Amino acid sequence: MRVLALSPGSLQQQLERLPALAAVAEQLGAQIQVACEPAHRPLWSLLPAVEKVIPFPFAGDPNLAEWANLLGLVREPDFQACLNFATGRQVNLMLSMSHIPVRVATEGFSSTAQVTPGQGWKPQQLASYLKPLGLSLKADDFRLSLPADAMEAARQLQPPGEGPLLLLAPDDSADDWPNERWQSLPERIRERLPQLRCEVIPPQAALPRRAAAVACADVVLSSCATTQLLTAYCGVPLVAMGSATDALPERDVIRVLAGERQALSTEEVMKALGF
């Protein structure tokens, strides 16, 4: 069985859809094909059930020829269902000519089932997309399964030593936690935990690299929403600075420092880390 996902939007939105598509693949034994922005192709390599990524410029006001090409690509395989996260007349025209029997979306004349987002944190809200397929979603149970070679490559980049590894994952926005506090925090912690190892993963790092670094850490401190969600998917303890209330699941190992990131003191962050 094959399922198509039309997935426009930001990198963060792609990440939020991972548990839903993983549930579809697992519960139906399905192979997934995803149409998304070309820049987001590496993300979908994190989900083994994705057999093909179709690059499509949703945000670039695609012309008729591009829609016709996409129609040709989605009519060639035998898709039994489509989860459509796109909106607009063009995507509905394309889907109405695709012959896919089950088409789930929040709106549009091409849909065979229209849904509204559910309750819970953002990945869990997509459970409504699965109901027309007779499926369920427990987004909090989703875990990334990363290749062994990627994990080993991440370990090779870690600082030497036997102590616990704190991964620092700052954001690149102007209102991030001040850089001097990021730099001074490891030494402040080493006053109490001399064997601490510390690694910094920049927000510009490729997503598979970030995911592997997170999975190999003992605890992650991050102000980057993407890295925070990757950490939740890896099941690693996390201190999330400035996270939205519905962005992360409620877990004992996840602590959220709400409010403006620049206003957070080093003492508040250390306390959240357990010091």
Among 163, 158, 177, 161, smallest CA distance to 270 is for 177
pLDDT tens string 169-209 = 999 998 999 999 999 999 999 999 999 999 999 988 999 99
The predicted pLDDT at position 274 comes to 92
pLDDT tens string 240-249 = 999 988 999 9
Residue spans in the chain of domains classed CATH 3.40.50.2000: 2-141, 148-272
75 has a pLDDT exceeding 90: no
Residue 212 CB burial class (10 angstroms; 0-12, 13-18, ≥19): buried
The predicted pLDDT at position 76 comes to 83
Length of the chain: 275
pTM of this structure: 0.93
The architecture of the domain spanning 2-141 is 3-Layer(aba) Sandwich (3.40)
Once rounded to an integer, what is the mean pLDDT over residues 52-75? 93
39 has a pLDDT exceeding 90: yes
Instruction: Tell me the pLDDT of the chain averaged across its residues.
Output: 95
Q: Residue 27's pLDDT band (boundaries 50, 70, 90)?
A: very high
The predicted pLDDT at position 1 comes to 92
CA–CA dist 98, 109 (Å, integer): 13
The predicted pLDDT at position 163 comes to 93
12 has a pLDDT exceeding 90: yes
CA–CA dist 11, 38 (Å, integer): 11
The predicted pLDDT at position 188 comes to 95
Query: Considering only the top CATH level, what class is 148-272?
Result: alpha beta
Q: Which helix (H) or strand (E) holds 2?
A: strand 2-6
Residue 180 CB burial class (10 angstroms; 0-12, 13-18, ≥19): exposed
Among 266, 271, 175, 183, smallest CA distance to 223 is for 175
The predicted pLDDT at position 224 comes to 96
Among 235, 241, 186, 243, smallest CA distance to 215 is for 235
